[in-house]
Amino acid sequence: MEKVLDSLCPYKVYRDECGLFFYNKEDIKYVVSFTDNSRSFFDDTLHSKIFDFGFEPEQKTKFDKRVRDTLITILIDFFSKDEERVITFTTDGSDRKQLARKRLFNFWSQKYGSNFLKYDIELKTEDDNYYSSLILHENNKSKEVYYNSFFNIEKDLSK
């Protein structure tokens, strides 16, 4: 287990063979994942720097702004290593709170995302609506290609 981002995060972040994780003040483990998502984009010119971002506490916990700050620090560090990286994120709908999550991530993006671009689509199904986001660095050289491909996903899925 390797410590990463010690001095930058409210919570110490660790890396093991499965990915990143940290513990909040209640000693609840949060698992953070960046998984390859390049197959979701239908444009062949896109390279393999597209990742789906996810995080999950191992059990239900109360709001903790230090968790938010730790997650934001992880995201900023992720992009600082390569401005050409791209993140996608789809809100979890298992508890029907996906719209609240979308609003929360919009707030985070507005407050902390001055160097980032965030685009959202709504994916409608018969049962529910889901929200997906594309986040990329403002200096990403392929941002227009990613933007177009991302919104083509919405068009393709709504057919």
Q: Is the whole model's pTM more than 0.85, yes or no?
A: no
**Residue owning tokens 């609003």:** 103
Question: pLDDT, tens digit, for every residue of 37-90?
Answer: 877 765 666 666 889 898 899 998 888 999 999 998 998 889 888 999 999 888
Sheet containing 50-57: give its strands across.
2-4, 13-16, 19-23, 29-36, 50-57, 86-90, 129-137, 116-124
pLDDT at 159 over 60: no
pLDDT at 16 over 70: yes
* pLDDT score recorded for residue 126: 80
Beta bridge partners of residue 19, listed in sequence order: 16
What integer best gives the mean pLDDT of the chain?
83
> Contacts by 22-26 with C-beta closer than 8 Å and gap 24+?
22/70, 24/57, 24/61, 24/64, 24/66, 24/67, 25/64, 25/66, 26/61, 26/62, 26/64
pLDDT at 36 over 90: no
CATH fold group of domain 2-157: Aminopeptidase (3.40.630)
* pLDDT score recorded for residue 30: 95
What is the residue extent of each domain of the chain? 2-157
Question: pLDDT, tens digit, for every residue of 84-136?
Answer: 999 988 877 677 777 777 787 788 777 777 888 999 888 877 877 788 889 99
d(CA 109, CA 120): 12
**Residue owning tokens 């290593």:** 81
* pLDDT score recorded for residue 145: 87
With 0-12 / 13-18 / 19 or more C-beta atoms within 10 angstroms meaning exposed / middle / buried, residue 120 is: middle
* pLDDT score recorded for residue 122: 84
